[in-house]
């Protein structure tokens, strides 16, 4: 009799088929489940979570280093942290319906533990660790590229500079010993729908021009455009 694979749908969504299903089972085993058995009889996913976190960090760093050669260390570090934060892990885990596969203790299950974000993120990291044990870094990379690449590209495309005026100020002070000066050059539109144009001047030259619905927004846009024109990374 051919035994049924209870993880077939999950493996399909992960983009990787485990040779040793026990690794995947452990990755899906919450500590509350193992606590209901004699000590050591059932292994939980905490050790695999530890391993998976390290493997995920490596893959994020490696991908960013190769994909974005123009990024400096500061932006690489910020982007790596954004790529593997709990929100993205929970989103990916939910898309896999990971909660439906978790092995939970009765109390945790009754309290809705299969939908708890921390349980889902821990299990996803554990799965990456399990894949590493099952098939090495290539196995983990299959899962990473399938699940994380879309989020990485979206993150980079919409990731704004948190403080472009501050970044520009710091760069100007360090390199030219001057502070950027902002001026509003145009105001238009009715009182309820104003539009402003701003310039940022460095060393008596216009470094960037920006527009916005407020003076502050226009100045921020001008600083951002100056950073782009000067090829300055956050």
Q: Radius of gyration of the chain from Cα atoms? A: 25
Distance CA 189, CA 137 (A): 58
**What H or E segment, with its residue span, contains residue 210?**
strand 205-212
Point out the catalytic residue in the list 49, 108, 122, 125: 125
Catalytic residue among 44, 49, 53, 122: 53
Structure tokens that stand for 13 in this block: 């969504």
Q: Which tokens go with 217?
A: 């927004």
Q: Strand order of the sheet with strand 181-188? A: 181-188, 195-202, 205-212
Annotated catalytic, 125? Answer: yes
Backbone phi, psi, residue 135, to 5°: -145, 15
Q: Which H or E run includes 165?
A: helix 164-176
Q: Which of 4, 6, 201, 37 is nearest to 102 (CA)?
A: 6
In angstroms, rounded to a whole number, what is the distance separating the alpha carbons of residues 161 and 227?
A: 10
The distance of Cα 86 from the centroid of its chain, to the nearest Å, equals: 8
Measured in whole angstroms, how far is the alpha carbon of residue 186 from the centre of its chain? 39
Q: Quick check: is 134 catalytic?
A: no
Catalytic positions are 53, 125
């Amino acid at each position: 009799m051919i035994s049924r694979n209870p993880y077939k749908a999950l493996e399909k969504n992960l983009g990787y088929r485990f040779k040793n299903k026990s690794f995947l089972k452990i990755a899906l085993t919450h500590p509350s489940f193992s606590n209901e058995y004699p000590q050591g009889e059932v292994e939980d996913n905490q050790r695999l979570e530890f391993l998976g976190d390290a493997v995920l960090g490596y893959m994020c760093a490696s991908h960013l280093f190769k994909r974005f050669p123009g990024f400096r260390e500061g932006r690489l570090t910020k982007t790596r942290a954004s790529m593997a934060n709990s929100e993205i892990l929970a989103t990916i885990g939910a898309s896999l319906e990971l909660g439906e596969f978790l092995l939970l203790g009765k109390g945790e299950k009754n309290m809705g533990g299969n939908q708890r974000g921390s349980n889902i993120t821990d299990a996803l990291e554990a799965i990456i660790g399990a894949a590493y044990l099952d098939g090495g870094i290539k196995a983990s990379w299959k899962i990473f590229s399938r699940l994380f690449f879309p989020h990485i590209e979206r993150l980079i495309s919409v990731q704004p500079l948190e403080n472009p005026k501050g970044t520009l100020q710091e760069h100007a002070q360090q390199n030219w010993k001057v502070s950027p000066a902002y001026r509003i050059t145009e105001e238009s539109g009715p009182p309820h729908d104003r539009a402003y144009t701003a310039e940022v001047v460095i060393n008596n030259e216009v470094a960037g021009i920006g527009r916005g619905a407020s003076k502050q927004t226009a100045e921020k846009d001008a600083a951002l455009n100056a950073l782009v024109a000067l090829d300055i990374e956050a």
